[in-house]
Amino acid sequence: MNTQPTASHFINGAYVEDKSGEEIPVIYPATGEVIATLYAATPAIIEQALAAAEAAQKEWASWTGTERGRVLRRAADIMRERNHDLSVLETFDTGKPYQETSVVDATSGADALEYFGGLAAAITGEHIQLGENFVYTRREPVGLCVGIGAWNYPTQIACWKAAPALACGNTMVFKPSETTPLCALKVAEILFEAGAPAGVYNVIQGYGAVGAALVTDRRVDKVSLTGSVPTGRKVYAAAAEGIRHVTMELGGKSPLVIFDDANLENAVSGAILGNFYSSGQVCSNGTRVFVQSGIKDAFLERLTERLKGVKMGDPQDPEVNYGPMVSERQLGIVEGFIEKGIAEGARLVTGGKRVDRPGFYIEPTVFADVTDEMTIATDEIFGPVMSVLSFETEEEVLPRANATEFGLSAGVFTADLTRAHRMVAGFEAGTCYINTYNDAPVEAPFGGSKLSGVGRENSKAAIEHYSQIKGVFVRMGDLEAPF
């Protein structure tokens, strides 16, 4: 493949290598083979990246929003032109089927670059008249931002952080997940090619220790993490030491509530999209599927039938619609949860087994007769394991749906519109769906409440999290003082 990044890091407009860093093997999840070796950032590389981002920030912020936006929109165009190659790389990085990556990853990254590119010129302060005096506000960048990514959507996560950060006049040092280190490098390369000055967007590799070193550096003004709740706790606490701004996009255990009157076919589609897309490795997945008792048998029957449409295989084959887990480790975690589900008395309806072929494949798995306190209903699995729980009434299901420390997403399928809006008003979650699941257009805010996070990505709301307001009081007349 001639589209692979040529070194581990991209700093100050160029690829940089330092082989004295800890090795990071890149493993193709579909075969288990090592396809590349990268090196974690050494203290010298971390220093280079932070120094470059710091040096570039004031100049980048001095450009007009229109000028910055033009760079982002150009980058979006390049990403779309190279969608095929970027999707192939995303599939090598993550193991997700090309059928998905070719329509979701570089394309949603490009959407973010285009959206925030368009918005950049409209990021303004306001004027507040106070008699003859007045206040005006300046919406200023936060400064030097650190982005840290998870492994499920490496291109998208890199772009969802870069686009609003750069639109607001910030610079960024981004550390991808050590499990999927390749794609963010291409984002850096493309932004530079599109005209972002050297140092505006830098990518360095590393395990948690590199992330930790970035978060506590005195030059860093903001940290945006996409990852698990335990990592979020550590990063939030470390950022607090310097009173740094944070965005935390963390895990979930989201409810999907299906009422008797729902369109069955659509509800099954929602449950499939919310549990098995990307082999279940999606933070917002609706993994606790509450089905009203009158429709439960029909739902399980139709779901089992539809799962016969799963086509496993080489994820680079465009006909394949279901890929492996990202790593042997993640596969093991999923197998552990499946064993627990069986041991705690849930009924295995379908799936449950590792697939006998190279790579990290596990069957899409459905458990029925799951109760609220079973481990598979309380813990984030981050794999293709659906828990079906049953319920009788709306009054009963809402508190059960909310009885979790997480609050990322929630969905409802029903034909009764007033009930749908009532349910959504009652859900303790940042991102909700009515008669659909897991749509994530850049125009809509995305993020969690409770343990699932702080701040929002995408939409105009992201601007609030990558800029700060300066209030300026202007007096037009004489100033009185007591003495």
Q: Is 220 in the site for ligand NAD (CB under 6 A)?
A: no
Q: Is 69 in the site for ligand NAD (CB under 6 A)?
A: no
User: Among 152, 247, 292, 467, which residue interacts with ligand NAD (rule: CB under 6 A)?
Assistant: 152
Helices (H), 151-263: 154-167, 183-193, 208-215, 229-241
User: Among 80, 139, 234, 306, which residue interacts with ligand NAD (rule: CB under 6 A)?
Assistant: 234
Among the listed ranges 9-17, 208-216, 357-365, 385-393, the one in contact with ligand NAD (CB under 6 A) is 208-216
| Beta carbon nearer to ligand NAD, 243 or 479 | 243
C-beta atoms surrounding 123 within 10 Å: 21
Q: Which residues pair with 144 in a beta bridge?
A: 171
| Beta carbon nearer to ligand NAD, 280 or 352 | 280
Between 161 and 200, how does the x/- string for binding to ligand NAD read (CB under 6 A)? --------------x-xx----------------------
- CA–CA gap between residue 411 and residue 291 (Å, rounded): 12
Return the closest-CA partner of residue 148 out of 208, 196, 191, 108: 208
DSSP conformational letter for 407:
-
Q: 137 and 472 in contact (C-beta within 8 Å)?
A: yes
Q: Is 150 in the site for ligand NAD (CB under 6 A)?
A: yes
- For ligand NAD, the binding residues in 332-361 under the rule CB under 6 A are none
User: Among 92, 115, 116, 151, which residue interacts with ligand NAD (rule: CB under 6 A)?
Assistant: 151
- CA–CA gap between residue 255 and residue 409 (Å, rounded): 7
The strand pair at 23-28 and 14-16 is best described as unpaired
The strand pair at 467-474 and 133-141 is best described as antiparallel
Q: Is 148 in the site for ligand NAD (CB under 6 A)?
A: yes
Q: Is 249 in the site for ligand NAD (CB under 6 A)?
A: yes
- CA–CA gap between residue 59 and residue 170 (Å, rounded): 10
Burial zone of 401 (CB within 10 Å; 0-12 exposed, 13-18 middle, 19+ buried): buried
| Nearest-approach distance from CB 107 to ligand NAD, in angstroms | 17
Catalytic site residue 301?
no
Among the listed ranges 57-65, 147-155, 272-280, 366-374, the one in contact with ligand NAD (CB under 6 A) is 147-155
C-beta atoms surrounding 32 within 10 Å: 13
Instruction: State residue 393 phi and psi, 5-degree precision.
Output: -130, 160
User: Among 29, 69, 211, 384, which residue interacts with ligand NAD (rule: CB under 6 A)?
Assistant: 211
Q: Which residues pair with 322 in a beta bridge?
A: 312
Catalytic site residue 450?
no
| Beta carbon nearer to ligand NAD, 368 or 386 | 386
- Please give the residue ranges that form the binding site for ligand NAD (CB under 6 A): 148-152, 175, 177-178, 207-208, 211-212, 215, 226-228, 231, 234-235, 249-252, 283, 380, 382, 408, 448, 453
Q: Which residues are annotated as catalytic?
A: 161, 249, 283, 457
